[in-house]
Amino acid sequence: MDELTDKVVLVTGGSRGMGAEMVHAFAACGANVIIASRKFDNCRVLADKVREQYEVRALPVAFNASNWSQCDDLITAAYDEFGRVDVLINNAGLSPLYPSLDQVTEDLFDKVIAVNLRGPFRLAAVIGARMAAGDGGSIINIGSIEAIRPRAHALPYAAAKSGLHVLSEGFAQAYGPKVRVNTIQAGPFLTDIAAHWSEGMKEEMEQTVALGRCAEASEVTGAALFFATSASSYASGALLRLDGGWP
> pLDDT tens digits for 150-159?
999 899 999 9
Rounded distance between C-alpha atoms, residue 167 and residue 117, angstroms: 9
Q: Any idea how long the chain is?
A: 247
**Residue 60 phi/psi, 5° resolution?**
-90, 140
Which is it for strands 189-190 and 215-216: parallel, antiparallel or unpaired? parallel
Is the Cβ–Cβ distance between 135 and 197 less than 8 Å?
Answer: no
pTM for the model stands at 0.95
Show me where the domains of the chain are located: 2-241
Rounded distance between C-alpha atoms, residue 169 and residue 82, angstroms: 28
Check residue 205 and give its pLDDT. 86
Rounded distance between C-alpha atoms, residue 58 and residue 33, angstroms: 5
157 belongs to the catalytic site = yes
Reference 187, options 117, 115, 246; nearest CA is 246
**Catalytic residue selected from 54, 79, 98, 157:** 157
Q: Show the 3-state SS of 108-145.
A: HHHHHHHHHHHHHHHHHHHHHHHHHHCCCEEEEEEEEH
Check residue 200 and give its pLDDT. 80
The CA–CA distances, whole Å, from 156 to 77, 96, 140, 163 equal 31, 9, 21, 11
Is the Cβ–Cβ distance between 160 and 116 less than 8 Å?
Answer: yes
> pLDDT tens digits for 98-136?
999 999 999 999 999 999 999 999 999 999 999 999 999
Reference 28, options 56, 48, 68, 59; nearest CA is 56
> pLDDT tens digits for 55-80?
999 999 999 999 999 999 999 999 99
Q: Which residues, other chains included, contact 132 with Cβ-Cβ below 8 Å and sequence gap of 6+?
A: 175, 178, 179
Its CATH class, for the domain covering 2-241, is: alpha beta
> pLDDT tens digits for 8-52?
999 999 999 999 999 999 999 999 999 999 999 999 999 999 999
